[in-house]
Amino acid sequence: MRTRQHLYALLGAISVMFVTLSPKASAQEQQSLDGMQIGELVEGSLKLMQARNWAEALRWNNHLVKEYGDRAPSQFGPRFGSIYYRKGICEIQLKKWSEAMNSFETCYKEYHNNDPERKSSNKFDKLCLLYWGEAAVGAEQWDLALDQFKKFMNERKKTDKYDPGKLFINYALCYYNIGDLVKGNENFETVIKNKVKFKTSDASILAAFQALVEAVIEADQEQTLLDFIAKNRGAIIIEPFMMHQFAPLFMKMASDAINADMERAAMQLYQLIPSTEVAIMDTKEKLDAMGDLPRLRLGSSFLDKANLESRMEKLEEQKNGTKNLDIIRLAALAYLHEKHGNVRGAYSSYLQLEKYYANADRREDFLYNLVRTAFAVDVGDKALTFANRFIEDFPKSDKVKEVRRMMLTTLFANGEYETCIERGSAMIGDLKVGTLAHDMCLHVLGGSYYYTNQNEKAQPLLDQHVETYPESSYVIPTTYFQASNKYRLGFLEDAAKLLDGFLEKYPEPAENVYMPYALYDRGTIHFQLQEYDPALEVTQDRLIDKFPDCNILDQAFNLKGNILLSTEKEAEAETAYMRALEIAEARGNITAAAESLVNIVSLKVNQGEKDDVKLDEALPFVDKFWKSYSEGGEFYKNQMSLIQFPVLEKADRLQEALDHLERRITVRAKDPLARGLDTMLAVFTENFLKINDVKALKEKFLNFPGIGLGDKAARALMQISIIKVFENEAKAAQKEITKGVEGAENKLREANARVQVEFQNLKAEFQVKDLATSILLSVGDYLRTKTATPREAIPYYDEAINRKNNEQHLFPALSGRADIYGQSKNPADIAKGLEDFQRIYTEAEVPKLKEFALYRMTDLLLKKGDFQDAQAKAKAYLEEAGYRRYKPDVQLMLARAYDRQKMPNDAIKMYLNIWSANMGDIRVSAPAIIRFMEMQWDKNAPGKEGAPSDRQSAYQSGWRYIDLTRPLVDKMTSEELGMWQEVETLVKRYETNPEIKTMAEIQREKEANE
């Protein structure tokens, strides 16, 4: 359906003709025409037409026709044709096209001019053809119109004045509408070329242009329009004050062009529209020019002051209001640019809309699109600013959720994990499972907990994501987080399986950017499980060799150093640490450099026990750490403060080491739980006393820098450190007594007395009821693990357990108290310990705590002699898939339970499992093989079917064990060495038995057979 806009323009042009005849006349009231004479009627109708009162004028003309029409040809002759002509003009003005055509037809056919001079007869008999054509244009009868125009041009008399511009425009309109673009353009360009000469109105030109655009769209000939605009741009761009009123029409044409996939044409059309500001300037200029004149002719147009003022008012409204055409144009451009993939172009458009047209009706849409495109083209924090503005300004918008989703992904990418947790937690409950939004939110929330080390909260979310969204675009990071988080939770085997699965499922480094991190975690797990060969294989072959540019290469070398050190390759370990340091320094990775330096110093300090030159070698690394890398993290600062003492002491800089540690203690003391402070105080005390006495230590602790009366945990631990000093003095005195040193007994008495006094001071200064629960735990743990009087800790634990709302501290306190009771030989105490552990096992939700409780219960039951229960608990532990931490110990307990219940076959089988699977762990393998050998020996079944006898088996097993573990002797603790030597003695004893074929004999036989 074609618009009729262009016709309105033509009508405007016609109206001009009459305006030139007469100034605006006042409207005449409708009056009865009956009885009026023809002369009076003709004169009246003319006046009405001059006054542009078309409806009334038509009524008068109709009355004339009605009263006189039938007899007019005979009564008035051709002259009456002018009545039909004027009637037709009125009908055109009133858009009564059909009636107008009839009027002009009557004028032409029935009232031929018979006056050769054309003065007194119907002087419109040819001119009416022109208007017949114009009425046909109005009626969209294009062929008829063309015929009439041609006929007019053929028949017209010289006296028939016409507007050539308008006629050519009408020709153009007709041709465009019948699809003849060539002839349409010919006529249109004739007008354009003669625009000044013809004084063609701008409205007429725009009417033809609109017809051209519509014809082009219908005929799908975009190029024709582009060529036309390129050639005639100047003519189409009319004065801004005028052009702007046609802007909606141009917008419409551009929109039609877009819908017809003629985007080039659309863009050209948008370019033709002047900005509102320019239109205002031009309108103001015209108004100024008019002064107080109501109307003013300007070229081919008339300016109407009232209209201009009204237009100015509307333009001002538009400029500051919501319907500014610039808004529509910018929005359309945003669409076009984004459609073609120029998202930054769309962003720029929306940015301008937000910045300069923030009062637009559709601001919500525009701002949303600004947010959307800003996130897409990565404009940093600006995207978040826009998003926050959207949420603030349109809190009820249905797009708020989507904006929050976009914000979340960006916040996550920016590493703003705490904010992600805050916003993601608030969002996730409202999101439907299975939607993209839920997928993203779950990923971000799980990932944020992971990155902030809130691993217990992270795990269920990550597990859920991996399970629910296997096809998610976040599946790779989430699967990695899931595995890595499991590792951080301490489930090494589970994490290992997940990491192996992850590396197998996503083996392409280009696709899987988390691969180096996964390999690093996997290598670390192998290392922690003492699987040194695979640890080295993963770290060296799969990580360092395959990803030489990865950004954790320095950390990988540190891990490699740790692995090599564990396999006693100290020189190679040092090389690895040095390489790690080199890379970290080159990359400016302060944390990795700090780690490397701590590793190097630690290695050299250990070596320094045998060769103190190593301490000298460590010194530059200590200095480098404090000079350049002490900001690599609190952890490494604490580590270096503790390990550097031998190095600085040898360099005669012990006070410097004390100063470093003093600062670390001050910082650590601010931790309510005072984690690690006990070790720090122990090392500080030991080294402080090397250059000071106990009195000075007490003084130091009393006035320790940065530790006030409020730092109760730290102060209590300091008091305990002093107790520990006197306990050590007591121990030393005890040894002297054994050796018969004179005066040792006095020393012992004095030391014990001081211990008592200091304990009293502790209790007096730190009343359990006054201490925060966390401090109760710290003091309790210190007393339990670091002093000779662990039972002194019980009141602290009791208080912590009995307090209300103590969920955070309940289980550690129960665990501490149970541990103390468990160490007792008193069955009642053991029973109390069992009770506490049972409570932990039943009530705790954290798997680690439950596992520990079950392990300790098994231990206590065994100790208590309740072997059946111990067996049940041990089995329960070993059947729990996730329990690995104490597995060898619990296996040993189970074996012992069988053993004590006289279940030799079960016991032997379990002992065999233990020592063969954990040979390197002398702590469990040695006692296991001892009992295995003894029980096999006692069982004493003969060999059968080629298998050796029980005794031969006992001997051979022991011999092989000794042979394989001999390289570990240097690493064994004295306790382990004692047990290992016990195995060796047993082997030797069995070897002397004549029943036994020695390994030397077996070897000789084997060689003989070969």
Partner 1 sequence: MKKLITTTLIAVLSLSAFGQEEDDGPVLSPTLLFDRKGEGKLVYLEAATDKAIRYRVNKVASSFEDARIATFKSIYVYDPDLFIEAKDLYETRKYEDALKKIKEVQTKYAPIAAIVDGPVAKANFLELECYRKLSNLKELDKALRAFDKGSLTSDIYQRQLQIYLLWDKLRNEEWNNLTQLAEEYADVKLTGEQRAQVAYCNGVALEKIQKPQEALFQYQIVITADGGASEVVAADAALRILGILQADPAVKEAKVAWDAEGEPQPLVGTIGLHEAAAVAKLYEMSLGGGKLLPSKYTYFLKYSVEQPDAAEEKPAPKEEKKEDK
Q: Is 348 near partner 1 (CB under 8 A)?
A: yes
Q: How far is the CB of 342 from partner 1 (least distance, A)?
A: 4
Nearer to partner 1, 267 or 768 (CB): 267
> What residues from 470 to 529 belong to the interface with partner 1 (CB under 8 A)?
510-511
Closest CA to 561 of 578, 571, 576, 580: 576
Nearer to partner 1, 36 or 278 (CB): 278
Q: How far is the CB of 423 from partner 1 (least distance, A)?
A: 23
Nearer to partner 1, 319 or 650 (CB): 319
Q: How many CB atoms lie under 10 A from the CB of residue 809?
A: 21
Calpha distance 879→854 (Å, rounded):
12
Closest CA to 308 of 264, 355, 244, 229: 244
Q: Is 557 near partner 1 (CB under 8 A)?
A: no
Cβ distance 597 to 621 under 8 Å?
yes
Among 116, 234, 470, 994, binds partner 1 (CB under 8 A): 234
Nearer to partner 1, 9 or 503 (CB): 9
Calpha distance 33→31 (Å, rounded):
6
Calpha distance 772→458 (Å, rounded):
29
Cβ distance 624 to 590 under 8 Å?
no
* Piece in contact with partner 1 (CB under 8 A), picked from 157-165, 232-240, 657-665, 703-711: 232-240
Q: Is 334 near partner 1 (CB under 8 A)?
A: yes
Nearer to partner 1, 19 or 296 (CB): 296
Q: How far is the CB of 355 from partner 1 (least distance, A)?
A: 7
> What residues from 576 to 595 belong to the interface with partner 1 (CB under 8 A)?
none
Q: Is 18 near partner 1 (CB under 8 A)?
A: no
* Piece in contact with partner 1 (CB under 8 A), picked from 308-316, 425-433, 713-721, 964-972: 308-316
Q: Is 345 near partner 1 (CB under 8 A)?
A: yes
Calpha distance 795→132 (Å, rounded):
115
Among 180, 214, 326, 354, binds partner 1 (CB under 8 A): 326
Among 178, 219, 237, 737, binds partner 1 (CB under 8 A): 237
What stretch of H or E contains 296?
Answer: strand 295-298
For residue 69, what is the DSSP state? T
Q: Is 298 near partner 1 (CB under 8 A)?
A: yes
Q: Is the Cα dihedral 992, 996, 1000, 1001 positive or negative?
A: positive
Q: Is 5 near partner 1 (CB under 8 A)?
A: yes
Q: How far is the CB of 359 from partner 1 (least distance, A)?
A: 12
Q: How many CA atoms lie within 13 A of 110 on its CB side?
A: 19
CA dihedral 704, 707, 710, 713 (to 10 degrees): -90
Q: Is the Cα dihedral 745, 746, 747, 752 positive or negative?
A: positive
Please, is 313 exposed, middle or buried when counting C-beta atoms within 10 Å of its C-beta (0-12, 13-18, 19+)? exposed
CA dihedral 694, 696, 701, 706 (to 10 degrees): -160
Q: Is 200 near partner 1 (CB under 8 A)?
A: no
Nearer to partner 1, 369 or 953 (CB): 369
Nearer to partner 1, 278 or 917 (CB): 278
Q: In Å, how far are 641, 649, 681 from 663, measured between CA atoms?
A: 9, 18, 12
Q: How far is the CB of 490 from partner 1 (least distance, A)?
A: 34
Q: Is 67 near partner 1 (CB under 8 A)?
A: no
Binding track over 350-369 against partner 1, x by CB under 8 A: -xx--xx--------x---x
Cβ contacts of residue 279 below 8 Å, gap of 6+?
Answer: 240, 241, 243, 244, 315
* Piece in contact with partner 1 (CB under 8 A), picked from 48-56, 304-312, 481-489, 867-875: 304-312
Nearer to partner 1, 230 or 1008 (CB): 230
Please, is 905 exposed, middle or buried when counting C-beta atoms within 10 Å of its C-beta (0-12, 13-18, 19+)? exposed
Go through 557-592 and write b for each residue having 16 or more CB atoms within 10 A of its CB, e for each that does not.
bbbbbbbbbeeebeebbbebbbbbbebbbeeebbbb
Q: Is 205 near partner 1 (CB under 8 A)?
A: no
Calpha distance 673→714 (Å, rounded):
9
CA–CA–CA angle 345, 350, 355 (5° rounding): 125
Q: How many CB atoms lie under 10 A from the CB of residue 11?
A: 18
Q: Is 648 helix (H, G, I), strand (E, B) or coil?
A: helix
Nearer to partner 1, 144 or 377 (CB): 377
Q: Is 314 near partner 1 (CB under 8 A)?
A: yes
Structure tokens at 523: 């290598």
Among 64, 167, 211, 332, binds partner 1 (CB under 8 A): 332
> What residues from 376 to 395 belong to the interface with partner 1 (CB under 8 A)?
376-379
Q: Is 337 near partner 1 (CB under 8 A)?
A: yes
Q: How many of the chain's residues bind partner 1 (CB under 8 A)?
A: 89
Among 203, 212, 458, 683, binds partner 1 (CB under 8 A): 203
Q: How far is the CB of 195 from partner 1 (least distance, A)?
A: 8
* Piece in contact with partner 1 (CB under 8 A), picked from 117-125, 223-231, 546-554, 993-1001: 223-231
Among 116, 119, 230, 588, binds partner 1 (CB under 8 A): 230
Q: Is 4 near partner 1 (CB under 8 A)?
A: no
> What residues from 244 to 273 belong to the interface with partner 1 (CB under 8 A)?
245-246, 248-249, 251-252, 254-255, 258-259, 263-264, 267-268, 270-272
Nearer to partner 1, 83 or 387 (CB): 387
Q: How far is the CB of 442 from partner 1 (least distance, A)?
A: 21
Q: Is 295 near partner 1 (CB under 8 A)?
A: no
Q: Is 824 near partner 1 (CB under 8 A)?
A: no
* Piece in contact with partner 1 (CB under 8 A), picked from 97-105, 131-139, 224-232, 871-879: 224-232
Structure tokens at 450: 């992971």
Nearer to partner 1, 369 or 858 (CB): 369
Structure tokens at 379: 């404009």
Q: Is 340 near partner 1 (CB under 8 A)?
A: yes
Calpha distance 881→330 (Å, rounded):
63
Q: Is 347 near partner 1 (CB under 8 A)?
A: yes
Q: Is 220 near partner 1 (CB under 8 A)?
A: no
* Piece in contact with partner 1 (CB under 8 A), picked from 55-63, 230-238, 581-589, 1001-1009: 230-238
Nearer to partner 1, 9 or 495 (CB): 9
Q: Is 444 near partner 1 (CB under 8 A)?
A: no
CA–CA–CA angle 296, 301, 303 (5° rounding): 35
Among 21, 27, 55, 293, binds partner 1 (CB under 8 A): 293
Q: How far is the CB of 231 from partner 1 (least distance, A)?
A: 8
Q: Is 341 near partner 1 (CB under 8 A)?
A: yes
Chain centroid to Cα 172, Å, comes to 59
Long-range contacts, 31-38 (Cβ 8 Å, 24+) = 33/59, 33/60, 33/63, 36/63, 38/64, 38/67, 38/68, 38/76
> What residues from 270 to 289 belong to the interface with partner 1 (CB under 8 A)?
270-272, 275, 277-278, 281, 284-285, 288-289
Q: Is 55 near partner 1 (CB under 8 A)?
A: no
Cβ contacts of residue 623 below 8 Å, gap of 6+?
Answer: none
